[in-house]
Chains A and B, each alone.
Chain A
Amino acid sequence: MRVQIAATMLSRVTRLTSRTRQLDPGRILHTGSRAPQSVAAHLDDQAADDGPRAVSRTSEKDPARHGEQHEGLHYDIPLQDVGTLFPQSLPPRFSMQVKTFGEACLMVRKPALELLHYLKNTDFAHPAVRYVLYGEKGTGKTLSLCHVIHFCAKQDWLILHVPDAHLWVKNCRGLLPSAYDRTRLDQPAEASAWLKNFKTTNERFLSQIKVQGQYVWNKRESTERGRPLGEVVEQGLTRAKSATDAVGVVLKELKGQSRAGGFRLLVAVDGVNALWGRTTLRREDKSLVAAEELALVHNLRKMVRNDWHGGAIALTLSQTGSLFKPRKAYLPQELLGKEGFDALDPFVPILVSNYSPKEFESCVQYYLESSWLQHEKAHTEDGKKQLLFLSDANPGQLERLCAHL
């Protein structure tokens, strides 16, 4: 029995490797060395199962080793990693789930695996490639981005994560004219919040990276060349008025130094269509503010351009928090508009769609195993069919449905 399983797995793996040979001739060694390890992992999983019950979890905690055999399975992120990587930047319903269950379980899905495969095979001498995750509402774009961020953090990349760019273009109080450039506007509250999260995520890089320019904040304070980046971040956190300028300095320094090779940079922006959309902010004279007049947006747009190398850019489009976009819009052209699409072109689009039947089954199994589905009829076939019908295998809708069942 075991020999037959191994034989089928090996034949499947050789088919996999022959497929990758067609795609990428230079990388066969990389995937080939992974193949016997994945077969062993799958056999171990099979050995661990007792009986033909559906499995929804995997014990593989390292995203670097996630492959097609883990598709549809949940892996859990240790809670201290969640606190470091995603300080207040998880989607609200997911953070409620983490709080209730006491564990952060993400499902391994195809779009995330595809993006991980591209990231593993990046050539850091070439300009940064932009990957755009797009899809309908509730399909899992943000959580796929979180999966990718976890992978990059494990591989010791520097993570530049903007959890929701829409928060920078709406409901901002305390807009100040920028000290650096009179035509632009500062957002001290948003900039300080971002600097705090950046510091929590990338603590160890702040002392390693040295600033390459001299920056004068005001009459009394300045940062000399060669000081650690942590000082710039501290300056932004202590003086709210220089917070936006501090963010600009951090982005400029990281972009300039990533080509030197000291670290690899991942720029992860959720809701990137906010950068090229309209804002609902007004100045004191009630005139509308355009997106490029905000210093934060201006600097982030420069970061998302592919004129630097030594890392990658992973972006997500989102209609959920967007302004003046129809609810059904989800394609890049619709959400980014002409200006945004031209700015991001060329990019690699990755579609995130609803659950496949296997993924749906795995999700329902996970909820049943953690006793989240308490209704007595939820265990039955009829109940599962009804969940499938009501949610249409949309991950967001399924989660909301199971919350009250």
Chain B
Amino acid sequence: MAAPAVRAARRWPVLALDLRNRLLRLPGLTQVRWSRYGPEYKDPQIDKEHYRKPVAELTEQEKYDLELRKTQHIKAAPATKTSSVFEDPVISKFTNMLMKGGNKVLARSLMTQTLEAVKRKQFEKYRAASAEERATIERNPYTIFHQALKNCEPVIGLVPILRGGRFYQVPVPLADRRRRFLAMKWMITECREKKHRRVLMPEKLSHELLEAFHNQGPVIKKKHEMHKMAEANRALGALGRARALCCKKQ
């Protein structure tokens, strides 16, 4: 309930800063996710290539931006975001979701072991395959990971909407970030719950990722079930459109 209010307040112009603060400190509205940084703080530019461009090649706009940033407040870069060439935001997000109890070291090692397991399995397949099949076998664990998660993303989702004292499961189009989140969440939940206790997480995760890459497996099945449920509840589509209109008005 507080979230739409906070999101709405964020869209207001900077001049209404004290108004926004007063709204957020109203009784009954607790901020659950908030930052110590005010709106005047800008995000840091972590990309090394951005700074490597020689001064002569910058456009007028870029030169102006560079000068402007010298006077602005900049937030501190998070410890997990690096300027490494090997960094991947999807992998970082997945690692964070895999993490339990703040144990990032373990989560990261599980992630690297999973990628290694995927790579080794594909290499075994490659060696056993004939010359024509070799062209079709993908050995890059990162491509497999991204494609698998993309295959698991649902197109349409169900949202519970309260009308007349009852909750109706309404099919509604999902935002990009919600789809990515659902794909990763389903993958992790599937691997955690449907795993024998003697099987290690990297082994299970690599197996599920490879199956999802080929559009098979339990996570893809879950996505299809979600689509089928949405298709079944198609009649409630009007409620979903009414909700969307209500949100836009806010």
Contact = CB atoms under 8 A, between A and B. Distances in A.
Given A100-B123, A404-B112, 9 more contacts: A100-B124, A102-B127, A371-B139, A374-B119, A374-B140, A374-B141, A377-B86, A378-B86, A383-B86
Contacts of B113: 404
Interface of A: 96, 100-102, 371, 374-378, 380, 382-383, 386, 403-405
Contacts of B85: 377, 380, 382-383, 386
A375 B120 contact: no
A376 B123 CA distance: 17
A22 B79 CA distance: 56
Contact of A386 (B86, B120, B127, B142): B86
A375 B86 contact: yes
B137 to A, nearest CB: 11
Contacts of A382: 85
Interface string B209-237: 00000000000000000000000000000
Contacts of B112: 403-404
Contacts of B84: 386
Interface string B66-103: 00000000000000000011100000000000000000
Contact of B142 (A102, A371, A374, A383): A374
25 contacts: A96-B120, A100-B120, A100-B123, A100-B124, A101-B123, A371-B139, A374-B119, A374-B141, A374-B142, A375-B140, A375-B142, A377-B85, A378-B86, A380-B85, A382-B85, A383-B85, A383-B86, A386-B85, A386-B86, A403-B112, A403-B116, A403-B119, A404-B113, A404-B116, A404-B141
B124 to A, nearest CB: 7
B12 to A, nearest CB: 41
Interface in B99-141: 112-113, 115-116, 119-120, 123-124, 127, 139-141
A374, A375, A377 — which one has the most chain B CB atoms within 10 A of its CB? Answer: A374
A405 B127 CA distance: 19
A405 B142 CA distance: 8
Nearest to A377: B85
Contacts of B139: 371, 374
Contacts of A96: 120
Nearest to B138: A374
Contacts of B123: 100-101
Nearest to A403: B116
Contacts of A380: 85
Interface string B180-206: 000000000000000000000000000
Nearest to B85: A377
A401 to B, nearest CB: 9
Contacts of A102: 127
A404 B113 CA distance: 7
Contacts of B124: 100
Contacts of A377: 85-86
Nearest to B88: A375
A381 to B, nearest CB: 10
B174 to A, nearest CB: 30
B139 to A, nearest CB: 6
B140 to A, nearest CB: 4
Given A374-B139, A386-B84, A386-B85, A404 B120 contact: no
Contacts of A376: 140
Most B CB within 10 A of own CB, among A383, A386, A405: A405
Nearest to A383: B85
| Residue from B123, B139, B141 having most chain A Cβ neighbours under 10 A | B123
Please indicate which of the listed interface residues A100, A101, A102, A386 has the most CB atoms of chain B within 10 Å of its own CB: A100
Nearest to B115: A404
Contacts of B116: 403-404
A384 to B, nearest CB: 10
A404 B140 contact: no
Contacts of A386: 84-86
A102 B124 CA distance: 9
Nearest to A400: B112
A390 B163 CA distance: 57
A374 B86 CA distance: 11
B72 to A, nearest CB: 28
A390 to B, nearest CB: 9
A386 B84 CA distance: 8
A100 B124 CA distance: 6
Nearest to B141: A374
Contacts of B86: 375, 377-378, 383, 386, 405
